[in-house]
Amino acid sequence: MDLKDLYQEIILDHGKNPRNLGKFDNYNKDEDIAFEGHGCAISMASASIMTDMVRGKEEKEVKEIVADFIGMIKEKDSLETNILKDDEKTKLMSLSGVKQYPMRVKCATLSWHTLTSALDNSDQVVKTEE
């Protein structure tokens, strides 16, 4: 299986079978995502992968992962963080192909911007544009 096929398989799996849907027990931040579990496959896959990546991590680590992901999805060729294991980086890199499609970048980053908003205790409407 080549890398492109692996990436597609990861996205399809997380899009069809999203992990961590709903609120965690003992959560300490709260933010609503507009698609409420009914978004496009890229949004669903990205949110699912994101929750797998940040679960159990310290806030400082989460912010580093988010910044690295947003940078990768918009401009960089790879992830730079050392916080993630190789298999976790592979999952995140599966979304790297969406940078070729600007509207899909918005889909892929929506949950990440929402997470940032929750971490910052922002009451602003989350936007995917900077």
User: Which amino acid belongs to residue 44?
Assistant: M
Q: How far is CA 96 from the centre of its chain?
A: 11
Per the model's pLDDT, the better-predicted residue between 127 and 100 turns out to be 100
Percentage of the chain modeled with pLDDT above 70: 82
Q: What distance in Å separates the CA atoms of residue 2 and residue 107, rounded to the nearest whole number?
A: 25
Domain boundaries, the chain: 3-15+42-119
In angstroms, the Cα distances linking 100 to 35, 51, 108 are: 23, 24, 12
* Contact yes or no for 81/92 (Cβ under 8 A): no
Which is nearest to 75 in space by CA: 99, 94, 98?
99
Quickly list DSSP for 14-77: HHHS-SS-SPPTT-S-----TTTT---HHHHHHHHHHHHHHTT--HHHHHHHHHHHHHHHHT-S
| pLDDT the model gives residue 126 | 77
Tallying the residues shown for the chain, one arrives at 130
DSSP state of 96: G
Return the pLDDT at 36.
47
pLDDT of residue 38: 53
CATH annotation of 3-15+42-119 = 3.90.1010.10
pLDDT above 80 (res 37) = no
